[in-house]
Amino acid sequence: MPLRDVVTWTSLLSSYVSAGDSPEAFHLFCQMRAEGLEVNQVTMAVLLRACYGSEDKVAGCQLQAFANKAGLQSHELLQNSILSMFSRLACFEEVMKFVIIQNRSIASWNILLSSYSFIGDVSKVVKCYRKMRLEVTPSNETLTLPISAFAKCEHLPGGRESCCMMNAK
């Protein structure tokens, strides 16, 4: 293809990541940069997906630093992709830095709630849910996360009680 732009490169990278070939995706990313093309938040989100697909925390941290240096870290998509990557890699110290994200969306909160649920910390799920309600309106998906957390720890009565408490203002 004679004319390649960031969209065509990102599509190619995404194909390799979806196929589970993260090393080739990173190789192509380097090639893209060598050709002088700048990346955007979508390109970075695709590469971050490659990091948790290949369980490569080091590459994820490097990409996060690259995104910060490139001035892309303020984009919601990229913030949520970084949060998802660290969550899926069980890097909970990094997940805890979530509070510094400037534009927390319902997606950001859902990622965080899922992280706490994944590690089985029901009290943090409830605290996080309450804090989230101060910033955004819960989605239907959000409402299932605390219930799921209680179900995982086999404490459904507590889940019903907490959901009633959480829904009351």
Question: Per-residue pLDDT tens for 16-53?
Answer: 999 999 999 999 999 999 999 989 999 999 999 999 88
The CA R_g of the chain, rounded to the nearest whole Å, is 18
Mean pLDDT value across residues 65-87: 87
End-to-end CA distance of the chain: 58
Is residue 157 pLDDT above 70, yes or no?
A: no
Mean pLDDT value across residues 74-99: 80
Q: How far apart are CA 67 and CA 62, in angstroms?
A: 9
- Tens of pLDDT along 106-134? 988 898 888 888 888 888 888 888 888 88
User: Are 56 and 90 within 8 A, CB to CB?
Assistant: no
**Contacts of residue 108, Cβ cutoff 8 Å, sequence gap at least 6:** 76, 79, 80, 83, 98, 101
Q: How confident is the model at residue 15 (pLDDT cuts 50, 70, 90)?
A: very high
Q: How confident is the model at residue 87 (pLDDT cuts 50, 70, 90)?
A: confident
pLDDT of residue 16: 95
pTM comes to 0.76
Q: What is the dihedral of CA 91, 95, 101, 106, to 10 degrees?
A: 120
Annotated domain spans of the chain? 1-100, 104-169
Q: How far apart are CA 67 and CA 145, in angstroms?
A: 30
